[in-house]
Structure 1
Amino acid sequence: MHLNEIVFNDSQPVEGYGPGFFRIGGAVIEGPVITGPTGTQRWSGLDHADPLVALAGHIDVLFVGTGADVAHLPDALLDTLQAAGIGVEAMASPAACRTYNVLLSEGRRVALALIPV
């Protein structure tokens, strides 16, 4: 068996999650969070598009974890992100974490915005 070491550069994979928190880069962050090539930070949620728009030019797609279940994103948020040239995929937070980690390991330009489960 041959193992390859994954280099994540400036982005950190999601190492775990639970009720109300995420573990990213060894740190436990409570509440909503954004992570990607510009670092990891707390987030105010779906009504706060500015830190997501700031990812324009750094990513090709943003995965938005909507909590325990899939939910539709507000139209205003979708319109703002699409106008900034950011592709957006909404899914349940556990699925968003897994998808982000896989694409990150492939060297893709991705970011993740999460609402806790």
Structure 2
Amino acid sequence: MKLHQSQNQGNNLFTGYGDGHVLINRERHDGNLIVSPDRVAPWAAEDFAGLTAEHFAAALDFEPELVLFGSGASLRFPHPKLTADLARARIGVEAMDTAAACRTYNILLAEGRRVVALLLV
């Protein structure tokens, strides 16, 4: 699916997504990612079953106010013990499928929020 163009110049925006990939500023990415307004990095998580607290704690380096967890093609919720470090830091975590996380990230970014997406692509 292609997403609409935005005027958020200089920020990482999701411009599309499909089976097994996302487009950020029209550049294709095929692996699991951590995405913030100014950085795109590989996310060490391999799949939902292998998620650890350390995978979620990686978002702390990006200093977000909110973390969006894209769980893949279907919505799956991580166990609360996996996101405990974020909760202790008073950072909200929202789980949704990866396509919804891409759309929601763009909306929150347009609102000026410090959002980070952790995506299982």
The TM-score range, normalised by the shorter chain, is 0.7 to 0.9
2:79 pairs with 74, 82, 88, which one? 74
Counterpart Cα distance in 1 of 2:69 and 2:100: 10
Query: Which residue does 2:42 correspond to in 1?
Result: 42
Task: Report SS of the residue matched to 2:100.
Answer: helix
Is residue 2:109 matched to residue 1:104?
A: yes
| Identity, % of aligned positions | 35
- The TM-score, its normalising length taken from structure 1, stands at 0.81
Query: Which residue does 2:14 correspond to in 1?
Result: 14
- The TM-score, its normalising length taken from structure 2, stands at 0.79
Deviations, residues 52-104 of structure 1 (Å, cap 9, x unaligned):
12123xx2111111011111113222111111221100011111111111111
Give aligned pairs, total.
Answer: 109
Task: Report SS of the residue matched to 2:41.
Answer: strand
Counterpart Cα distance in 1 of 2:18 and 2:38: 24
Report if aligned partners of 2:70, 2:98 keep a CA contact under 8 Å in 1.
yes
Identify unmatched segments of 5+ residues in structure 1: none
RMSD of the alignment, in Å?
A: 1.8
Counterpart Cα distance in 1 of 2:102 and 2:37: 15
* Structure 1 or 2: more strand by fraction: 1
Report if aligned partners of 1:8, 1:104 keep a CA contact under 8 Å in 2.
no
Counterparts in 2 of 1:109 and 1:26: CA distance versus 1, 3 Å: same
Identify unmatched segments of 5+ residues in structure 2: 1-5, 46-50
